[in-house]
Structure 1
Amino acid sequence: MKQFIIERNVPGASQLNAEQLRDISAKSCAVVAGLGKPYNWVVSYVAGDKLYCVHEAESADVIYEHARDGGFPADLVTEVTARIGPQTAELA
């Protein structure tokens, strides 16, 4: 599966409480279970008025399907083409 970064504009996202975040998470998991396609939610970050999510699927179309079925915004979906970190510098 390919990995994607999803940017979701959610005004007030950083003010969501634990119960609201749990409800969003449960809805996402239910939609994943009902897709009938390979799909993996890796992690999401709440920052300011945005959620940045890392999901795995066979295509961006499946990412958009998850968003549509869950009622989640998917304002920008970008395929991850490489991963780097501090350890990348050690490869040189």
Structure 2
Amino acid sequence: MPKFVIEREIPGAGNLSADDLHGISQKSCGVLCELGPQIQWVQSFVTADKIYCIYIAPDEETVRKHAEMGGFPANSIAKVATVIDPTTAE
């Protein structure tokens, strides 16, 4: 199943408290349960004003539905073409 990188513009994201991030995570997981096993949240990276999320989903529409149901921004959704890491250089 394809992977997607979602860019969420959230001003001040880097200043969110542990409780804030816990609440956001709980909301996301609740929506994922409603949508079923075809969409999975892999991990997210919090920066100063954005959160970048990695999801596995059948299509972009499913990722957008998760964002809409959760009330999360999804400013950019990109399907991952391939994954590279240091072992790619070997």
Q: Could you say which residue in structure 1 is the equivalent of 2:27?
A: 27
SS in 2 for 1:82: coil
Please give the per-residue CA displacement for 1:10-63, whole angstroms capped at 9, x wherever unaligned.
000000000000000000000000013501100000011000000010000000
Gaps of 5+ in 2: none
Q: Following the alignment from structure 2 to structure 1, what is the Cα–Cα distance between the partners of residues 41 and 14?
A: 20
Q: Could you say which residue in structure 2 is the equivalent of 1:89?
A: 89
Note the aligned Cα RMSD (angstroms): 0.7
TM-score normalised per structure 2: 0.98
Structure number with bigger Rg: 1
For 2:87, the aligned partner's letter is: Q
| Correspondence 1:8-87 to 2 at 5 A | 8-36=8-36, 38-87=38-87
Q: Following the alignment from structure 2 to structure 1, what is the Cα–Cα distance between the partners of residues 81 and 44?
A: 18
Q: Following the alignment from structure 1 to structure 2, what is the Cα–Cα distance between the partners of residues 73 and 48?
A: 16
Please give the per-residue CA displacement for 1:47-86, whole angstroms capped at 9, x wherever unaligned.
1100000001000000000000000000000000101111
Structure 1 residues 66-75 or 30-39, which shifts more?
A: 30-39
TM-score normalised per structure 1: 0.95
SS in 2 for 1:7: strand
